[in-house]
Amino acid sequence: MASAPTTKAAAGAAAQDPILKVEHLSMRFGGLMAINDLSFECRRGDITALIGPNGAGKTTVFNCITGFYKPTMGMMTLRQKGGQDYLLERLADFEITKRAKVARTFQNIRLFTGLTVLENLLVAQHNALMRASGYTILGLFGFPAYRKASKESIELARYWLDKASLTERADDPAGDLPYGAQRRLEIARAMCTGPELLCLDEPAAGLNPRESLALNTLLQGIRADTGTSILLIEHDMSVVMEISDHVVVLEYGQKISDGTPDFVKNDPKVIAAYLGVEDDEVEEVIAEVEEVAHEVEGGQK
């Protein structure tokens, strides 16, 4: 927990080993196939962006990774720095944060509005503080170990408040913050759990250009200082193209493109998915997509 800010893992030196491997992930809601046989990888220390038109299944992928949904099929492997592997589909949602060290934020901000900004960050350090307080019992009798841990937790919170430029508002209720600050606070709160993989669901939604610039700086700072890998869903292309190292494009629950931002930007399938195509090109595109689908299937066999 306290080691997160101090481990200055150089992002550039990160080996090409994947932190998260998603294989053949499928999620079915009744008759609706929200995700259909999706496979992709997030490399350690990278910022991976998951994009796609509305309803493409991006948030469903997130909910599967963070345990809020149990996928119908597929395997999601998270490999920590120490080399331990966690199969995320087998863990309960809170254990994914606690043991596998995956933190997430939400598309519609979920802060503890009645708690202060500082308290929000302290709640995020629950598990570390629980251990330090001897599962409440030692802390209740005022053991010094807990007091020390409590001080450290406030220091860690202060560190992330500085990063998110929220130190001034530390003692205000979280519900009182402006929208952009609430977004930053949610990211800071997720970072206080000491994650190895940070999942952000549309962090730039509703931000003005200045705020989304500040967000870019915050995210790049997180990666540079802590070596945390980031997986994000985003519609704001200025954020995606600016900061991500690797982009995965979804449409109708299937992967249609996967590569560097520049590669994805010029991929005709992506352009077709986002902008639509002329009527006379439809068949051509369908044929192309089918061809790709066959290739993918062939590759799997």
Using CB under 8 A, which of 2, 33, 130, 224 touches another protein? Answer: 130
Using CB under 8 A, which of 170, 271, 277, 285 touches another protein? Answer: 170
Query: Judged by CB under 8 A, which stretch of 152-160, 208-216, 225-233, 247-255 contacts another protein?
Result: 152-160
Token pair for residue 252?
Answer: 């109708």
What gap in Å lies between CA 291 and CA 250, rounded to an integer?
A: 17
Residue among 171 and 280 whose Cβ is closer to another protein: 171
Residue among 190 and 239 whose Cβ is closer to another protein: 190
Q: Is 274 in the site for another protein (CB under 8 A)?
A: no
Which one, of 28, 32, 22, lies nearest residue 197 by Cα? 22
How many residues at the interface with another protein, by CB under 8 A? Answer: 49
Q: Name the minimum Å distance from CB 86 to another protein.
A: 13
Q: Name the minimum Å distance from CB 286 to another protein.
A: 39
Q: Is 162 in the site for another protein (CB under 8 A)?
A: no
Q: What is the DSSP letter of 277?
A: -
What gap in Å lies between CA 243 and CA 239, rounded to an integer?
A: 6
Distance from chain centroid for Cα 59: 11
> Count of CB atoms within 10 A of residue 65's CB?
26
What gap in Å lies between CA 5 and CA 299, rounded to an integer?
A: 41
Which one, of 21, 30, 19, 31, lies nearest residue 74 by Cα? 21
Q: Name the minimum Å distance from CB 140 to another protein.
A: 6
CA distances (Å), 217 to each of 9, 181, 225, 268, 277, in order? Answer: 18, 14, 12, 30, 35
Q: Is 143 in the site for another protein (CB under 8 A)?
A: no
Q: What is the DSSP letter of 173?
A: B
Residue among 96 and 219 whose Cβ is closer to another protein: 96
Q: CB under 8 Å to 64, separation ≥6 — which residues?
A: 25, 27, 35, 70, 71, 74, 76, 88, 89
Asked if 200 and 231 count as a contact pair (C-beta separation under 8 A), the reply is yes
Using CB under 8 A, which of 9, 14, 75, 154 touches another protein? Answer: 154
Restricted to residues 98-127, the positions that interact with another protein (CB under 8 A) are 98, 103-104, 106, 110-116, 118-119, 122-127
Q: Is 39 in the site for another protein (CB under 8 A)?
A: no
Using CB under 8 A, which of 49, 78, 156, 161 touches another protein? Answer: 161
Which positions touch another protein (CB under 8 A)? 66, 68, 93-98, 103-104, 106, 110-116, 118-119, 122-127, 129-130, 133, 136, 139-140, 146, 150, 154, 157-158, 161, 167, 170-176, 189-190, 193
